[in-house]
Structure formats: C-alpha cells, structure tokens
Amino acid sequence: MPSTVASVNAVIESLWPLSGAESWDNPGLVTGDADSPVSTVHLAVDATAATVDEAIDAGADLLLVHHPLLLRGVTTVASDTYKGALLSRLIRAECAVVAAHTNADVVETGTSATLAALLGLLDARPLVAGEPASRGLGRVGRLETPLTLGALARRLADILPATASGVRVAGSFDRAVETVSLCGGAGDSLLSNPDVLSSDVYITSDLRHHPASEFVETALLSGGPALIDISHWASEWLWLLSAARELREALPELEVTVSDIRTDPWDFVVVQ
C-alpha cells in the first residue's frame, strides 16, 4: 500500500512520540492532507524560505522539520507574512509539514544523544531523566581519554557544520576535561542541574550574557565546569542524519533526503 501523509506521520510519531514533548511545545502535523501520497520526505532544522523552496524543488511530498513553524500563536497566515507565505507555497505544492521538536530531543537517538555519541561519550545518560529513564533532556558522560578544553573545542568544531559564530569557550585552554554534560539547542535552563555542575564542561547553545557570566563567576569562586557555546542550528542539524537513517529503515520505500542549507541566522563575524 502506498505511503500517505497519515501513515508517514504515524511512523514519525512512533519514532518520536508526542508524549515526550514539553507542555509548551507544538510538534506534529502542521499542514497537509492526511490521504495525500508520499514518496519523498525532506528533512531540515527549520522551515525557512530556502528550505521550503529546496523541498518543493526536490519534489518532496513531506517536509519534516525540527522547529515547529507554528510554535507560537499567530493571528493571520496572510501571504504578506513570512509564515503565511511559506504555508501558501507548501499547500500549493501539496507538500505536507510535520515537526518533531522536543519529542525528538528526549529519545535515545535524539539531538543531545546524537551529539554525545559523536563526541564519543561513554556511559551517557540524560541530565533530566524521563520515562523510561533512558530518555530525557540533555546528556552527561565521560570521554574515554581526557582532553584539554581547547582540544575538545577543536573536536566540536570538526564535528559540527560550520557557522559564523563557531565554537565559543569560557575556560582555560589547557584545562583537563573528562566528564562532559551537554544539551543540544538552548540549554541555559539546565545551568543549575547537579550533573552539569559536577561536570568538567557544559556544552549547549544560545547562552545569554548574564546567565553565562554569573555561571562563570560562580565557578571561579566555588568550582564548576567550563562553558562551551555552539550554534543552535548546528547542534540540532546533526540529528537530521540519524533521523533520516531511522526513517529509511522504517520506510524503505521512501526517498529520504537531508537539507544542508545553513539556517543559522548569522552570516559572518568580524573578529576583533
């Protein structure tokens, strides 16, 4: 039986159950006819003009994104708004959109778990355990061989797709690190997590000045981890590769492609 939007979405929800989403989140089917046929699925972190055009030009029947296009309430989807314009183009092209967001963060092969695996962390477990305990937000584990903070930052730079902001580090270049905690995407809500505080370094994205500054100053006074701030988009783009593999295994009859368009918002940086 040919795949449809409904059947593909059912597989997506089996891989990344909606029950794992945060209460404020809005994953799931954004637009699309449940009975429409699907032969090609395209994956991207964000639904932007560039990734929507890419999906439509590739003839994709379904665009699976990490970040929900309609996460926050809107009062119009008129075509002179960017969300309305994107939805209009997708509907005209008969390309459905499904989002797997925090429900894809918490699974055993989710965003943080993917980054932890690529870093080679051993005995990795969630920073905030869910149900089952193998699922949850973030990850903490140890490196097989301790590295300097500088060498770990270099490893991250080699793993992550390039962005203008690169890899930002707060801590001594030669500091020894073995226990690593991390959270793909915005993770400043976990700065006070006990496993973060007992780590040698915490890796996450979107760290704001005041929380990061207070965290660094407190670590200087009473001990605590170094900080590494990486691109939000880059940290989550890695998950697309594992998500694509899982979809291909579950739906071998489908063509599954991954966007390499950089939807990180920054284009260049001037180093002073």
| Angle, alpha carbons 116-193-241 (nearest 5°) | 25
Where would I find the H helices in 207-258?
Answer: 209-222, 232-250
What share of the chain in percent tops pLDDT 70?
A: 100
User: What's the token pair of residue 156?
Assistant: 């991250």
Query: Where along the chain do its domains lie?
Result: 5-100, 106-234
pLDDT at 125 over 90: yes
Q: How far is CA 154 from CA 150, 168, 205, 228, in A?
A: 6, 11, 16, 11
Phi, psi of 204 (to 5 degrees): -160, -165
Between helix 49-57 and helix 82-92 the angle, nearest 10°, is 10
Residue 114 — pLDDT band, cuts 50, 70, 90?
very high
Assess if CATH 3.40.1390.30 describes domain 5-100.
Answer: yes
Q: Residue range 187-200: average pLDDT?
A: 97
Residue 1 — pLDDT band, cuts 50, 70, 90?
confident
225/258 Cα distance (integer angstroms):
34
CATH class of 106-234: alpha beta
pLDDT at 261 over 90: yes
Task: State residue 72's pLDDT score.
Answer: 84
Query: Do 106-234 and 5-100 fall under one CATH topology?
Result: yes
Other CB atoms within a 10 A radius of the CB of residue 45 amount to 25
Task: State residue 241's pLDDT score.
Answer: 97
Q: Tokens 């560039």 sit at which residue? A: 50
pTM of the model: 0.96
188/68 Cα distance (integer angstroms):
20
Task: State residue 74's pLDDT score.
Answer: 85
Q: Residue range 134-159: average pLDDT?
A: 98
Number of H helices, E strands in the chain: 9, 13
193/134 Cα distance (integer angstroms):
17
Task: State residue 75's pLDDT score.
Answer: 83
What pLDDT digit, counting tens, does each position of 17-73 carry?
Answer: 999 999 999 999 999 999 999 999 999 999 999 999 999 999 999 999 999 999 888
| Window from 62-76, 184-198, 199-213, 228-242 with minimum mean pLDDT | 62-76
Beta strands 176-186; 96-99: pairing state: unpaired
68/86 Cα distance (integer angstroms):
13
116/240 Cα distance (integer angstroms):
15
